[in-house]
Structure 1
Amino acid sequence: MPERSHTVSFRPRARLVSVLGEHLISDPAVGLVELVKNAYDADASEVTVELSDLGDPEATSVIVTDNGTGMTLDDLVTKWLSPAMDHKESAKRRGARTAKGRLPIGEKGVGRFAVHHLGRRLRLITRAVDGDELTLDIDWDRFDQSEDYLDGLELSVHQRPPQLFTGDSTGTRLEVTLPRAPWTEKLVRKLHRTLKRLQSPVHEGETDFNVRLCCPEFPDLQDVSPTDILNQAHYEFRALIEPDGRCDFEYVCKHPVLSRRTRTGTETLSTEISVDGAFAECGPFWLNLYVWDRSSNFLQATGTSSRELNAHSGVSLFRDGLRVLPYGEPGDDWLFLDQERVQAPAERIGNNQVIGLVSVDQSSNLQLRDKTNREGLIENQAFQDLRTLLRAAIKLFVTHWRHDRPSKADRRVKSGTSSDLGTARALASEIEKTASNEIKVHRPETAPTHLQETPANDSAPEEKAVSQRQAVKELMDELASVSEAMDEERRRRDVLRQLAATGLAAERVVHEFGRQVGGAMAQMEQLERGPRTGQSTTEALNALGVALRTLRSEFRVLAPYETAGRADRMRTTSMLDAARLAVTLNQHALASSGVHASVTGQDFRARSRPAAVAQILDNLIHNASHWAAIGPSPERRVEVVLRPASSQIVVADSGPGVHPEMHDQLFDPFTTLKVEGTGLGLFISAQLADSLGCDLRLAYEDERPEGTSGAAMVLQFPIERDNGENGSR
């Protein structure tokens, strides 16, 4: 029999409407918001949502009325009754705007499924300019129960003289009855909150779009005008963020117990996006942050209601002034604020203390597209880039916030144990001297007669002196015990510092480890499946060899950390060896970023723990390579300079440098402008330096290597006079 072909096509069943309605719309509140957005796309300036007879499901009605352009018969048939019609998406691609200058918000053509989700009966009334009114009645039960094909269920559209939209008025009215779920108070409150937050309170574009909610059974929920709580914020941050990472910002501190201060500037946000001139796939956008300290007295001082703050908190995303759900909803941590705050509660802001407004212009962000279920945006590269830039901008805000807030973490304080014990011992010595002189000064001859008389119950001077000496001895013994305990605590802290540094280094290995192991496993599977001879086997073995050699090289990063968990003894160490080792450990990061590193100057030796010195320099060079890669200088470089005369090692880079506002908090824990940074690297390095008796700090201007413009860090060792034993000094 000869081969034949047949022409076939998809024919959806009528119940597809029911299936899609159930799965594309999560609840009635979301469905109503979709209908409101459709009114916006129809160029409406007003849309009213009416809920009535909520106590009786048989009588409950939901009505959405707008004064938009309405629909002609052709619009109704070819657009509204054609699911997935892409006329809105096509309009956006062409840049075609409405008479009011709007780009459509919708793009999937699924709004009619929101109507299905709301109730089992629908009456649609619409009128376009200079046209008759059209009415359409739909019994959705016919679609739910029928086995017919979708195009087999005919509907009737009636044309009549205007009765609802009379005169020159146009618009669309959707009357939904027989709700599929009861309208509880909780659901009405969710709708109220969603409509109240639907429009950005700071949107500077389209403003002639007003939403009204009419619900006589809950009169206190009818006001859906945007909140005015923003003026009560303790801190404000406004920024315009470009695809190349450039951030023009203004920060304002308005805390009730602090003097008002404002900072403005331009920063290049630290992200991988801006490396090698790469731009984000999202377009420019605006970020507004309004942040509160949630202490009750601070909230009261600005007249902020905790309940209202709870209702509006979170970081919301707005597109052309209208909100995209679910970003900013309770429990939605799309920027990982709460996740990071759990790790450092006092050093991060959480969703419950911030009202964030991310404003996106559709015309420059066409890659930010809705998911079909209208619950957020497709998480493509444009969305990932948007989130990365947002997280970097929020970290920029946090650096200023931590600097100003009344409850900011204490500045790095060096241990004062030795000096405190010395002071206590000196005080004890003074007490002993006083006791020894007690007999001499107890009855001075020049004292008045009434003071020379000793009460009968008073101890003899000699006995008092012995008693005081005994007290001094007990105090000295206790001080010695305390000193011993503090020495042990210091040793424990040193071990913990080394463990923390090891963890940071290990984190850098994990990514490459996973990638190489995955490739090696793939080659192993190929060898196991196929014949073990021929060219393919040779290639697989070569690939395995490359993966194993790469892993061996990567794990060299952890070599200086092998003493972690036990105290590394102090000994004379070559600083040149330590610097070269640190550069070698960062060879992969330097090469991948196109950064050249050099070690210059004369070697010198100092008493230290070799592992600790390597850890400090490793972290400094790793940081420097990151910032050199995104700095303004086309010549990416890191310089390590040894200075024997001043017992210094200087690590400098060609990056953007350290912002003056960061100088005082650079070594505080959790301070970072890296998107995925922990803010612990410099803190741990400074702690390690302190345990060596060294100082880690920013370089003074006259200490910077010549020709460098970025950050410069100094590891300062104690300066000791040459006693003839240190031949290299």
Structure 2
Amino acid sequence: MGKSTFKINARMLLELGAELISSDGIALYELIKNSVDAGSSTVKIQIFNALRYSEYKSLLESIDQAKTGSSVKSLVSKISAALEADIVEQARNFFEETVAVATSIRELRSALVRFYHRANSIIVEDAGEGMSLQELNDNFLTIGTRSRRKNRVGKGYLGEKGVGRLSTMRLGDQLDVRTTKAGEARYNRLVINWSLFSHDSDLRLQDVMVRPRRGKAKDDPSEQGTTISIRDLRSDWTEKKFQEIIVEDFGRLIDPFVPKSGNRLLRLFYNGKRHYLPVIDEQLFKHAHATCEAAFGLEGGKPWLRGFVNYRLRGKERPFVLGEPELRGITRSLPFGAVERLGSFTLHMWWFNRQLLNKANNVPNATEIKAMVRRWSGGLMLYRDKYRINPYGGPEDDWLSLDKRAFSSRGFKLNRQQVVGRVVIDLDNRALVEQTNREGLTDSPEKEALVALLQHILFTQFKEFLDECDKEVRVQELTTLENLEERIEATEDEIGKRLRAVAARVPEERKSLDEVEDLVGKLHEYIEQARALAEEYESDRAKFVYLAGVGLMVEFILHELGRATAHTLDTLRSIEKENPAGSLPATVPASFATLSEQLRTIVKRVDTLDPLSTSRRQQREDFDLFQLMRQVVDSRSAQTARHKIVWDGNFRNDDRWIVNGVKGMVIQIVENLISNSIYWLEVQREIDPSLQPKITIDLDQVDEQLIFTDNGTGVDPAHSERIFEPFVSHRPAKDGKGLGLYISREIAGYHEWTLTMLKEGTVRPDRYNTFVLDLSHGRKPKGSK
């Protein structure tokens, strides 16, 4: 057997064209983009509709069912009554010349078919560069060609897939392309009968012959451009439908934030009547309660994100600047190359509190402004240059999860109905590619990076700044007790499954497994104590600090517990694969010895929770800070060993420093600093693989300071105070809530201590890496002067 290849039926084009394009508006938009790519400064679209498609099919059925000798005149009257009221004069005349003078059923049917073909059409006309006869054959008839990409010099194109021309299949069965280039003497023509590619056809694609040909001579050889005529339309058209496409599709397809750009490009006509794209009234922007602008790009090969939020309602503004370390933190779950390949983008957003759009709040035309908000809201639309990528920011789309997050939170909400705005990517950005059906971008790491950065702007920079200004720090939104319990129960269930699986394999090791169950039970006790405290301090800020601190530590312990049991179970499974049933080798006790070691470490972690228990939560006591630091660090030994982090500083010395405070709260401060360091040390190691991660803890008894330093990414000086605010984080949402440093500073304040960043580049220039806990103003231990 010789070489074979795929065989393609002609109807395959139907699936790439008529069935893949989701609407008539999108089909027309594809043709508009082709005209723009051809360099045309204007695109003229004319819809001629004399008889609706559904009426046409119904009338044909009536004619086919008419018996010989039936009244032709009555059928002509029926057809005449079905004509559109605004039919153009030329179509009316053609009707009188054909359908109206038919004398037989057969003649009437033929006349009606000819009338529908000629009187109903969509014509798209541009003055672009046009196509030669050779280009019609080589480019237009090649599905998937990227001829413009090959030929472009310093210019991007809207068309990417080379299938936009197939969108004409959705609109009508007959296609007539007339095109010419400047300097040619004649037009070039291509006529295609799309019905040959229907599901009823069994023809192979290569068996449907389509040949471009020379057209008539041009009056002006300098003329250039393309006219696409589509006939035998396949759907109903009315002026109302056309207007809806203009408002709902075209009104957003060409960037409405650029004044008059849409109406400069498009000339739109329905049965000879001119229609215009809607424009955004500048009054709308004046009534926005908050705005946000941002830009992303590369400088010297390094990405940056900068912008500002202006909360007009409160008269406050905040800029933000993020460099590579922060961007790595935000996109940690993605390969950072996706961020570097993303290409530049800009964001402009206006936010409206609709409840404040009334006369009482100095909005005299409130009804009109509210209507504008409804008309243009929907979230952030996405544009390539000034042309929209559907469906982002549309009525049914929530690509940035604005509504999802708003409906799952309490109090202040940032949802799509409040947001008017757009994101603009470069025209030549090819890292973000549209799907063939024009329903969004194809899934890729670059798309995920774009979404992650935009969500950071919306939820971290914008929403949290507004929350802060409104003094609406809400525990319920991100750190509810119910949410904490759900996470713990899910982890506990998984650990239980693993314990049962291990017990079934090695019943003689039940003692080690009982230890794990006891630990889980002890954690349950702490959660119950937390619930009791929540009820006791329901409106007190102390509840927030306490619950969040306990919650973070319990989650960490369960994470370690889950990791240990999973490792043991994986080890047993691998042993079973290598040994016959019923014969477990001597390596089994060794694996349980490892589990026991891990449990001893985890027990240390649980012991650190004891000072946080309800009965001891507010008890100040004298204790040795050196000893406490050694205890906390030892409890982290397994984790820091896995991350290859080394410890440094004088905390391991045999010195003693007796201080007075709530021991459990001091543990929380240091635990939060360590957790913060471990994350950002990993980010810095991604930037610099040769890094030896290090955490240094020094206790200065003279100045009464605990000095904590790591050699991770450090903090941008502009953020050195903001990182202590609640819910401020440069991590992905799944990796942090932005509460740790806030909790730590609150605890320090409770003791009349201060927690700050040292305003010096102790590790690298222009970044702060050192935290200072100053205990000099707090309560002194007994016997001290």
Q: How does the TM-score come out when normalised to structure 2?
A: 0.66
**Match for residue 34 of structure 2?**
38
**Match for residue 322 of structure 1?**
387
**Match for residue 409 of structure 1?**
472
- Secondary structure of 2:265's aligned partner: strand
**Match for residue 719 of structure 1?**
778
Residue 46 of structure 2 is aligned to residue 50 of structure 1? yes
Q: How many residues align?
A: 633
Q: 1:495 to 1:594 in 2, by over 3 A?
A: same
On the 8 A contact 2:346/2:425 being kept in 1, the answer is: no
TM-superposed CA distance for 1:359, in Å, is 2.8
- Secondary structure of 1:305's aligned partner: helix
TM-superposed CA distance for 1:13, in Å, is 0.8
Alignment of 1:437-516 (within 5 A): 488-489=536-537, 497-505=545-553
Q: Distance in 2 between the 1:226 and 1:15 partners?
A: 43
TM-superposed CA distance for 1:146, in Å, is 0.8
TM-superposed CA distance for 1:189, in Å, is 2.9
Choose 675-684 or 505-514, whichever is displaced more: 505-514
On the 8 A contact 2:295/2:345 being kept in 1, the answer is: yes
**Match for residue 671 of structure 1?**
728
On the 8 A contact 1:127/1:133 being kept in 2, the answer is: yes
Q: 1:97 to 1:486 in 2, by over 3 A?
A: closer
On the 8 A contact 1:125/1:135 being kept in 2, the answer is: yes
**Match for residue 266 of structure 2?**
212
Residue 212 of structure 2 is aligned to residue 152 of structure 1? no
Residue type of the alignment partner of 1:214: L
Q: 1:497 to 1:250 in 2, by over 3 A?
A: closer
**Match for residue 341 of structure 2?**
282
Q: 1:553 to 1:277 in 2, by over 3 A?
A: farther
Choose 346-355 or 669-678, whichever is displaced more: 346-355
Q: 1:489 to 1:37 in 2, by over 3 A?
A: same
Residue 677 of structure 2 is aligned to residue 624 of structure 1? yes
Residue type of the alignment partner of 1:640: I
Q: Distance in 2 between the 1:673 and 1:329 partners?
A: 29
Q: Distance in 1 between the 2:43 and 2:294 partners?
A: 31
On the 8 A contact 1:625/1:637 being kept in 2, the answer is: no
TM-superposition CA deviations, 1:538-567 (whole Å, max 9, x none): 999999998998899789766644787854
- Secondary structure of 2:341's aligned partner: coil
Structure 2 residue corresponding to 1:258, chosen from 312, 315, 324 = 315
**Match for residue 124 of structure 1?**
177
On the 8 A contact 1:496/1:565 being kept in 2, the answer is: no
Residue type of the alignment partner of 1:357: R
Structure 1 alignment gaps of length 5 or more: 413-484
More helix by share: 2
**Match for residue 492 of structure 2?**
none
Q: Distance in 2 between the 1:155 and 1:486 partners?
A: 76
- Secondary structure of 2:17's aligned partner: helix
On the 8 A contact 1:395/1:672 being kept in 2, the answer is: no
Alignment of 1:196-595 (within 5 A): 196-200=251-255, 210-212=264-266, 214-216=268-270, 222-224=276-278, 228=282, 229=284, 233=288, 234-242=290-298, 246-247=303-304, 249-251=306-308, 253=310, 255=312, 258=315, 263=319, 267-268=323-324, 269-272=326-329, 279=337, 280-297=339-356, 305-313=369-377, 314-342=379-407, 344=409, 349-361=414-426, 363=428, 365-394=429-458, 397-398=461-462, 401-402=465-466, 405=469, 407-409=470-472, 488-489=536-537, 497-505=545-553, 532=580, 560-561=608-609, 566-569=614-617, 570=619, 572-584=622-634
Q: 1:603 to 1:237 in 2, by over 3 A?
A: farther
Residue 702 of structure 2 is aligned to residue 639 of structure 1? no
Q: Distance in 2 between the 1:210 and 1:102 partners?
A: 21
Residue type of the alignment partner of 2:129: T
Residue type of the alignment partner of 1:173: T
On the 8 A contact 2:647/2:695 being kept in 1, the answer is: yes
Residue type of the alignment partner of 2:399: W
TM-superposition CA deviations, 1:152-196 (whole Å, max 9, x none): 122354432257x96533222223344444457578535533323
Choose 581-590 or 326-335, whichever is displaced more: 581-590
Q: 1:158 to 1:97 in 2, by over 3 A?
A: closer
**Match for residue 434 of structure 1?**
none
On the 8 A contact 1:582/1:618 being kept in 2, the answer is: yes
**Match for residue 134 of structure 1?**
188
TM-superposition CA deviations, 1:301-331 (whole Å, max 9, x none): 5778233334333223333443222222234
Q: Distance in 1 between the 2:714 and 2:14 partners?
A: 57
- Secondary structure of 2:696's aligned partner: strand
TM-superposition CA deviations, 1:55-79 (whole Å, max 9, x none): 8234654332222122222222222
TM-superposed CA distance for 1:294, in Å, is 1.6
Q: 1:362 to 1:399 in 2, by over 3 A?
A: same
On the 8 A contact 1:395/1:673 being kept in 2, the answer is: no
Q: Distance in 1 between the 2:539 and 2:776 partners?
A: 20
On the 8 A contact 1:196/1:227 being kept in 2, the answer is: no
Q: 1:264 to 1:675 in 2, by over 3 A?
A: closer
**Match for residue 443 of structure 1?**
none
Residue type of the alignment partner of 1:69: E
**Match for residue 78 of structure 1?**
138
Q: Distance in 2 between the 1:247 and 1:189 partners?
A: 40
TM-superposed CA distance for 1:712, in Å, is 2.2
Residue type of the alignment partner of 1:379: D
On the 8 A contact 1:46/1:66 being kept in 2, the answer is: yes
Q: Distance in 1 between the 2:382 and 2:585 partners?
A: 52
TM-superposed CA distance for 1:256, in Å, is 5.9
Residue type of the alignment partner of 2:648: S
On the 8 A contact 1:271/1:392 being kept in 2, the answer is: no
CA RMSD of aligned residues (A): 5.0
Q: 1:320 to 1:606 in 2, by over 3 A?
A: same
- Secondary structure of 1:253's aligned partner: strand
| Amino-acid identity (%) | 22
On the 8 A contact 1:201/1:227 being kept in 2, the answer is: no
**Match for residue 143 of structure 1?**
197
- Secondary structure of 1:242's aligned partner: strand
Q: 1:373 to 1:68 in 2, by over 3 A?
A: same
TM-superposition CA deviations, 1:327-361 (whole Å, max 9, x none): 22234333333434445556674433334433333
On the 8 A contact 1:33/1:195 being kept in 2, the answer is: yes
**Match for residue 698 of structure 1?**
756
Q: Distance in 1 between the 2:178 and 2:737 partners?
A: 57
TM-superposition CA deviations, 1:519-541 (whole Å, max 9, x none): 877776666666549xx999999
Q: 1:13 to 1:77 in 2, by over 3 A?
A: same
On the 8 A contact 2:414/2:463 being kept in 1, the answer is: no
- Secondary structure of 2:7's aligned partner: coil
